[in-house]
Structures are given as C-alpha cells and as structure tokens.
Amino acid sequence: MNSLRAARLLPLCLTLACSASPPPTTPHHPEPSEPHPQAALRAPRVAPDAIEARFTDPERRAKLAAAFPRIDAMFAEEHTSSGAPALAVGIVVDGELAFAKGYGKRDVERGGVVDEHTVFRIGSITKVVTALAALKLVEDGVIALDAPAERYLPELGELVYPTSDAPRITVRHLMTYSSGLPYAGTFDDSSTVREPTEAEVLASLDGLPLQQAPGTSVRYSNLEYAVLGLLVARQSKLSFRRYVDQALLEPLGMKATKWRRPDVPADQLATAYAKTDGKPKPVDHWLLGAGEGSAGLYSSVADMAKLASFELAAWPARTAAEVGPISRARVRESQTVASFYSALLRRDGRGNRTVFSSGAGYGWWVHRDCQLDNVVVKDGGMEGYRSAMLLLPDRGVGVVALANFPMDLTSLTKRAAGVLLETGGLKPREVAPSAALIERAKIVTELLGTFDPERFRQTFTKEFLDQVSEAEFRSWMKWQADRHGSCRFERFEPSQSPLAAPWLATCDRGKRRFTMPLAGPHTPQFDAVTAESIFAPPPALLERLSGAIAGYPRWDDKKCEAIAKGSFACKDLVAALRGAAPKDATCALGGPIRGDGSMSSALELRCGDRELVLLLDLADGRVTSARVRSADAPTRCD
C-alpha cells in the first residue's frame, strides 16, 4: 500500500509583511480509516418469506399510455416555440421504452428524420456513467469509496488543502460533488481542434487550491469527474473508454453510445447548434480528451432508455438473481442522497406552497418535492446539445429528452412526469400488511371501544406497558369516545412496510388514523400508539363547497357567489380546479382524508376519471385558501 505524505496547505499569510510565528508543525490532516483485515463474510441470512413491494393497479400501464398524446403535444409545442432543429423524447415504464418520438430535422440544411435512434451528445449525463464505472471497481474490490483518492491517483496529493484539519479527498467525495475541486481545471476542455492529454489534466492539479474542505458542502465540478475518469482508467489498467465500454455499455446493449464524433454514423448524428440572434447556428464539437469522464458521451433516446431501465430495475430491494453489470444495492445507493445540498420553501406555478430539497447522489441529483416526491435527475449541456434524464424510482418510470439546441429539458421532463402523475397511473409500489398487523390493528380498534385487560396486555410490548398504565390507556379511550363515539376498522393505507402500514377507522363522528408499527416479525405487539383525528369542515360549508364544485367546468361566477355566501372565494376555488382537473370533466366532492375540520381539511375530489385532493385552510368556518393536488402526490405539503 502506498504511504500518504502530509498534505500541502494553502498559506494563511497572504500579506507582504507577516509577523513572526513559531516553526510550523506537520498538519494533522486526518485520513479516512481503513477496515481491519477480517475473514471473508458468509452470505447473509435472508427471510424465506420476504415481501416485495409491487404495483397493485392492473390498469397502471393503460393509464400511463393515455398520457402519451398530451406529452407528444407538449414536446411538439416546445420544439416549435424553442426553435430547436431536433428534439427527441422517450418514456420508460417498467423497463420498456413505452413511448418515443422525434421532432424536427437532424440538420437544418440537409434534413434527416429525428427518432429514438438519432444520436446527440449527452454532456454531463456522462457523469452518471462514470460514477457507475467507479462503483463497478468498488464492487470488484479494486478501490474503496472512503479511501483517500490519491492512493489510486497519486497526483491528487499535489492539491493544496485550505486547512490542516481538512480530510483527504476520498473516492466518494469525487462522486458526490463534495471534493472541493473547482468547477474546471486550467487545461482547455472546450477546444475544437485538440484534445487535452492525461498529463495536462493531471498537471493542472499541482498546487491547485481546493475551494473548501472536502465533505463540507456540495459544489458542482466538471474537473471532479474528469479526475474520477482518470482514476478509473488507472485502476482498471485499461483506457477509460475501453473500461466503460466493456464493463457497462456492452453489457447494457448500448451499441449506439460512443465517445468520438467520427464513431457515430453520419446519418444518425444530430448537428450541434448554438443560438445566435435567436436562430440556430452550427457549432464545432468540443474535444474533451482525457477529461471525457465529465461529459464525453454521445447517445440516443433508445440507448438512454436502456440506461434508465437498468437504473430503475434496482428498485425495489428484493430477493432475485442479479442480472446487471453492477448489483442492485450499489445502483440504489448511487440514487440516494450522499451529500445534502439545499432545502427551499417556495411557491409553485399556481402559487401553492411547496417544499423542495436537493442532494447529490453518485453523479445524480436527488430531489424531494410536493408533486413527485422522490426524483432522481441529471442533465447535460455543451456546445449545441442539451440532455435530461428523470427517474421516479418508487414509481418505475423514467423520462429522457435530447436536443441539439440550447433549451431547458430538465423542466420539460418534469412537466411530462406531472402529466403522467395526473393519470393516476403513478401510484408508488405498495407492500401488503402482514397477517399479524391486520389482526392486531383490528384488535386495537375494538379495544379502544371495549376495554379488555387481557387483550390489552397481549397487544402491547412489555416496554409499552411499563410506561402506559391501564388507567392511562382507559383515560385515552374515554377521550376518544367523547370526541368520536364508537369507531370501526375501515382499511389500511398504502405502505412500504408489512409491519407498519397505517390504518383508518370510521367513527360515529369523523375518523381516526392509526400508525402503530409492530415491534418485529416475531413480536406481533405494538410498542407505541400514534393516532390523529380527522373531521370534515362544518356541514353548511361542506354543502356550499359541494354545490359550487358541481358547477364545474361550466362555471358561473354569480351562481357560485350566491352558493358561497361569503364562506369561500369562488375565484380561488375555480383557479385551483382549473390547475388540476381535466378541462371538460365534472367534479364531485368526497369525504375527509386529513385535517381537523376547523383549521384545515383534505377532502377527496373526483373530476372525471382523475382522483384528486382538495386542500383547504380554514378559519372561523370560512375557507382562507384552496388548492388541489393529485391523490398520488406526497402528503408532506398538505
């Protein structure tokens, strides 16, 4: 094993005259710890009855396909309005390219059909492939994620660290935009006549100051992935291109994906265009050379769909044979947040409150929002090309878009995913509750109505009984009876765990939602009680809302105002409906699913064949704000 020398530090004294100081000491500069040598691990024990999350709607594929004409029209309109010569889109559903379409011409002057086989440069989506190549070496035991990267690429030892306590850059730092390396190196990665060499890329590291201590924040860097590509090449003992081809592209069947423009058949390549005075102007291709781990690949929608299918196939975790070049567990790891970036509270396009958080995976950006929940994205942009890939791992769907002109494809793919969500076909996978949970949930619901000391002791763990006395539990029962009357088990809600599915109870007054996980598969007892009350808004307000909504889509403001009698603003209600309901569908209001009925309420809403939720903020029996979301959107922003 190579020894690591003390790191170079950025001088702290930057003025011409420096005060005297004691002789410098060797910087501490912590190094990531290595695991101690140990015996080979035996195969883990796996539950023989492991439960796999599945899609439960038999009409799911048909619902999603029903959205394709709208998505087609959306991309056609964007192609026209953007002025892009060529645009292509693909939608992956359950590992298949379910929809693909091309728009425009490959070349403004020479023409050429655009379809799923048309090749574009994908720019920074290459980073996802480079990260997978590094993960392949990790899985093969060649490199370690948390080892100092200079162990595998000694030239990284010439970097200048900002502080003596900064940790050494690890392979994981390079993969998650958290190494502290600047956005670009000092070599020319935008030349159209000469490729930068490996020696030039590595020489740019000598004396280069890091922008922050590794691991302290996320800062996007092309240099980071150029260096990671060289590290992969060095440790694979092949050229970077050859290793990626052999380890990833060939096993995935991505035959159209190439590193060099001359390797792409001329009758498949879309010409690169810049925007000059609003019009397309042909531009030459940048030659990335030894820096191509950052953005070098060319590919098509059909090949990108194969990559998306491989990425999506990692979900859910399950007991099944591995079929890809990298294990499902490693691929799932690459799509989860490794370095947090930001969280924002903002308004969406309709003025609704929304929360957006973002972090870095391995090459990917991982988002959480109030519409699609868990979103994995990566885009790319360089000399006349744009690309975007959006994955919804929990929903088994991906969207790919490629263009040969500057345009915002990330927003376009997210809009397409929003259209898919509206169909009701994007419900996440679900896990059926275990037989023990079903039995215990019904017992608890009955127990809250009719107390039985023996059942009480059998239903809850010893730890719970040590903290909650029989008298305290009876007091809680009385509070519920006074507030709700008698309650009856209704149904389980969707869940990702067979031991922790929430359930609803219908009561004489309102509903109760219980979330009480079992202590374990072999301990069918609850160790906690969590419940919330659900009430509808006042009957008079509910009747007025139902009457007004029944008038949609043939809306009459005066009639609505007469129905509302000042209890809600008709313009806000119709704006909320128009933002989410199908254009010509009639709507009907259903029962409450969340909220206390006095300060807030979430009500079932069906418009045509679309399942929605009407979200109300309430005060003094009046609606202060109204918004509508898909029934399949996350509830965190309700």
Distance CA 217, CA 632 (A): 33
Are the CB atoms for 149 and 231 separated by under 8 Å? yes
For residue 493, give the nearest of 545, 549, 534 by alpha carbon: 534
Q: Are strands 610-619 and 622-630 parallel, antiparallel or unpaired?
A: antiparallel
Other Cβ atoms within 10 Å of 454 Cβ, number:
7
For every residue of 245-310, DSSP letters joined together read: IIIIITTTT-TT-BSSGGGS-TTTBPPPEEEETTEEEE-PPP--GGGTTTT--EEEHHHHHHHHHH
The residue annotated as part of the active site, out of 124, 221, 495, 630, is: 124
- Whether the CB-CB separation of 312 and 391 falls below 8 Å is answered with yes
- Counting every residue, how long is the chain? 638
The SS3 call for residue 597 is coil
Look up residue 231 and give its two tokens: 């590290």
Which residues, in sequence order, are CB contacts of 312 under 8 Å at separation 6+? 92, 95, 391, 393, 396, 397, 398
Q: Return d(Cα 223, Cα 233) in angstroms, integer.
A: 15
Nearest to 232 by CA among 214, 222, 244: 244
Nearest to 636 by CA among 352, 377, 371: 371
Q: How many CA atoms lie within 13 A of 398 on its CB side?
A: 29
132-155: buried (b, 16+ CB within 10 Å) or exposed (e) per residue?
bbbbbbbeeeebbbebbbbbbbeb
Is 124 part of the annotated catalytic residue set? yes
* Residue 547 CB burial class (10 angstroms; 0-12, 13-18, ≥19): middle
Q: At what angle do helices 557-564 and 539-549 cross, to 10 degrees?
A: 170
List residues with catalytic annotation: 124
